[in-house]
């Protein structure tokens, strides 16, 4: 379905030379130098630019939300979608501040919203099934979600964007993301489940129990080819697309599709927090080279996120104790990405400044 090429590294030596010969000590711009390297590899070594940065927020409701895993009910997903459309959420404020376009995708919410210029309707249903009693999605819904997520990302790229942030909104989706993390990484449930929207310890224990129930229910199916994956995983490892179908969400499926389409087009993906990283984990299990095109905006306060980043061999740019979702980390990191390219493109070299130093 997706043909993702590894990031070409032929120009890496030239890019590194450009970075190291700016008028500064080698490595003195720290993380900005790493970002400049990755962006130049993706966008081209000669004057790389970010064009039409766009934030996508995928919204979907989860069946487990009816089991008391959040401080809010499923109706809040739809209310927040309406809030996005009216410009009242944190993601609106941050996108406006940092000149980042915003699109909201209704992937399947209980409360369907009226048409709005900011809203794209790609509904797979009104709510997933509770994954502790049955499969959250059908295979048809998963395939459709991957296709629809890829479609909207492709449309954004066709409009000139080469950098897209991936965020989400969905009551109950931290439970889904924790379940995905547990199955795909093998980490204990206690290390994967956090407070999400800020729930109490009783609710955290409820989330853990729901994931335990789901693991027992689906344990014989996680690694099977019964869901018609392209390839049977080796060594009885979980099949990422199967795990997405059994434990995922409408919004997570479309996020995965969007990420894979962006990576296939060799553009920049900005990953938000815990749920976005769960989608990234699935995408990278399905197509490992997708990781080359991902920048992880921040390390969430959600318990499992740091471990998930380690699984993805990722180092987040920011650590602000965020746990909001909405894609909020993506516009916040955008100015730093612009700064990385600004120094790469515009900062004088030692030769241009007529400065002679001995480099280590």
Helix (H, G, I), strand (E, B) or coil at 57: strand
Contact assessment for residue 189 and residue 352, using Cβ atoms and an 8 Å cutoff: no
The residue annotated as part of the active site, out of 147, 224, 326, 358, is 326
Q: Residue 345 has which token pair?
A: 């493109």
DSSP secondary-structure letter at 351? T
Handedness of CA 284, 290, 291, 295 (dihedral sign): negative
β-pair partners for 57: 104, 167
Say how far apart CA 164 and CA 101 lie, in whole Å.
9
Say how far apart CA 192 and CA 214 lie, in whole Å.
14
**Measured CA distances, 359 to 16, 40, 56 (Å):** 13, 22, 43
Nearest to 259 by CA among 245, 243, 270: 270
Say how far apart CA 293 and CA 93 lie, in whole Å.
26
Contact assessment for residue 336 and residue 43, using Cβ atoms and an 8 Å cutoff: no
DSSP string, 285-347: HH-GGGGGGEEE-B--SSTTHHHHHHHTT---SB-------TTTHHHHHHHHHHHHHHHHHHS
Residue 33 is among the residues annotated as catalytic for this protein: no
Q: Which residues are catalytic?
A: 326
């Amino acid at each position: 379905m997706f043909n993702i090429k590894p990031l070409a590294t032929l120009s890496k030596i030239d890019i590194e030379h450009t970075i190291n010969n700016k008028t500064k000590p080698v490595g003195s711009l720290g993380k900005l130098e790493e970002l400049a390297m990755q962006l130049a590899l993706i966008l081209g070594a000669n004057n790389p630019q970010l064009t039409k940065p766009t934030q996508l927020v995928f919204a979907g409701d989860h069946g487990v939300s009816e089991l008391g895993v959040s401080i809010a009910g499923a109706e809040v997903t739809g209310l927040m979608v309406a809030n996005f459309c009216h410009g009242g959420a944190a993601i609106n404020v941050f996108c406006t501040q940092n000149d980042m376009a915003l699109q909201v995708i209704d992937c399947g919410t209980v409360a369907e919203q009226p048409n709005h210029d900011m809203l794209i309707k790609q509904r797979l249903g009104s709510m997933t099934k509770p994954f502790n009693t049955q499969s959250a999605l059908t295979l048809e819904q998963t395939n459709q979600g991957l296709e629809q997520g890829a479609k909207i990302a492709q449309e954004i790229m066709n409009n000139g964007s080469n950098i897209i942030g991936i965020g989400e909104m969905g009551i109950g989706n931290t439970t889904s993301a924790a379940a995905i993390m547990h199955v795909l990484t093998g980490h204990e449930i206690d290390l994967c489940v956090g407070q999400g929207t800020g729930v109490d310890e009783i609710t955290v224990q409820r989330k853990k129990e729901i994931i335990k129930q789901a693991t027992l229910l689906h344990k014989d199916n996680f690694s099977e080819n019964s869901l018609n994956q392209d390839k049977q995983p080796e060594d009885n490892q979980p099949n990422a697309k199967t795990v997405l179908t059994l434990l995922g969400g409408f919004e997570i499926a479309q996020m995965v599709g969007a990420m894979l389409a962006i990576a296939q087009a060799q553009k920049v993906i900005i990953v938000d927090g815990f749920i976005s990283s769960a989608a990234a984990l699935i995408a990278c299990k399905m197509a490992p080279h997708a990781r080359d095109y991902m920048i992880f905006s921040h390390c969430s306060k959600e318990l499992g996120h740091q471990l998930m980043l380690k699984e993805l061999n990722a180092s987040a740019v920011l650590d602000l104790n965020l746990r909001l979702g909405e894609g909020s980390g993506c516009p916040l990191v955008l100015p730093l990405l612009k700064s990385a390219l600004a120094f790469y493109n515009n900062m004088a070299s030692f030769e241009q400044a007529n400065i002679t130093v001995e480099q280590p």
